[in-house]
């Protein structure tokens, strides 16, 4: 009887210990399974929620970077176009200004020549008039003024004519006429020098030498 009780007790003890082990193992598997479920839930959350948000943020960032890059490239291209356009406009304006200055220079020179020619013509006629009025010394003064204007525009043809007028005036002049105008003789000499400098091809050389001799005789002539 006693042996049977001990045997039964040992069996029950062994059976209880086995049940505890099974329970522990079951709890372990349950814990692992729950942990796996939790991890799967986290992974699913990451895949379903976090990753799309991340990709969306990344795409927006990339899009902003691309837009910023494109905007910078566009600004650079626009600035380059502006610089090229400004340079073309500046070059065209400078070219137009240069042409305008050239035209103004031509017009100014033409006006200057026409004005000088008009003044020369007035003094030329005045010199001839004085010769007819018995005042050849005044005719010499007007002839000098006329000749200076012809020299200014390098009008050698009219210088030949004014030298002939001077020759006519000198033919009618004497010492007394030169005494009436104190510096007339010196003014004639200076005028002859200006003609000589203007006459690069010596077109007027012979005529000028002849007028110089006539002037020398007129200054010494008493009547």
Residue pair 169/136 in contact (Cβ under 8 Å)? The answer is: yes
Q: How many domains does the chain divide into?
A: 1
Number of neighbouring beta carbons within 10 Å of residue 10:
10
Highest mean pLDDT among 6-10, 111-115, 121-125: 121-125
Residue 57 lies in a domain: no
Residue 43 lies in a domain: no
Residue pair 208/189 in contact (Cβ under 8 Å)? The answer is: no
- Domain hosting 131: range is 120-220
pLDDT of residue 187: 96
Alpha-carbon 94 to chain mean position: 6
Residue pair 169/121 in contact (Cβ under 8 Å)? The answer is: no
Read off the pLDDT of residues 153-171 as tens digits, 9 standing for 90 and up: 999 999 999 999 999 999 9
Can you read off the two tokens belonging to residue 54?
Answer: 């991340």
Mean pLDDT of 173-201: 95
Confidence of residue 17 (pLDDT cuts 50, 70, 90): low
pLDDT of residue 13: 47
Mean pLDDT of 177-192: 95
Percent of the chain with pLDDT over 70: 83
| Mean pLDDT, all residues of the chain | 85
Residue pair 121/147 in contact (Cβ under 8 Å)? The answer is: no
Residue pair 149/196 in contact (Cβ under 8 Å)? The answer is: no
How distant, in Å, are the alpha carbons of 25, 32, 37, 44 from that of 29? 6, 5, 12, 22
Confidence of residue 196 (pLDDT cuts 50, 70, 90): very high
Residue 82 lies in a domain: no
9 compared with 151, residue with greater pLDDT = 151
pLDDT of residue 29: 66
* Residue 124: closest CA among 180, 173, 163: 163
Strand (E) or helix (H) holding 135: none
pLDDT of residue 205: 94
Residue 130 lies in a domain: yes
Residue 177 lies in a domain: yes
């Amino acid at each position: 009887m006693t042996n049977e009780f001990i045997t039964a007790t040992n069996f029950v003890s062994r059976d209880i210990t086995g049940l505890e082990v099974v329970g522990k193992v079951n709890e372990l598997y349950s814990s692992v399974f729950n942990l796996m479920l939790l991890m799967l839930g986290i992974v699913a959350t990451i895949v379903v929620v976090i990753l799309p948000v991340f990709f969306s943020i990344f795409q927006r960032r990339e899009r902003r970077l691309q837009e910023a890059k494109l905007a910078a490239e566009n600004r650079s291209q626009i600035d380059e176009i502006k610089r090229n356009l400004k340079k073309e406009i500046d070059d065209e304006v400078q070219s137009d200004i240069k042409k305008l200055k050239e035209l103004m220079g031509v017009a100014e020179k033409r006006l200057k020549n026409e004005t000088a020619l008009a003044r020369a013509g007035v003094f030329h006629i005045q010199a001839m008039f004085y010769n007819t009025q018995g005042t050849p010394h005044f005719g010499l003064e007007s002839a000098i003024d006329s000749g200076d204007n012809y020299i200014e525009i390098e009008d050698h043809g009219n210088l030949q004519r004014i030298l002939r007028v001077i020759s006519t005036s000198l033919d009618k002049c004497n010492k007394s006429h030169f005494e009436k105008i104190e510096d007339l003789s010196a003014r004639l000499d200076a005028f002859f020098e200006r003609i000589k400098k203007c006459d690069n091809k010596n077109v007027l050389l012979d005529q000028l030498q002849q007028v110089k001799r006539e002037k020398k005789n007129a200054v010494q002539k008493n009547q």
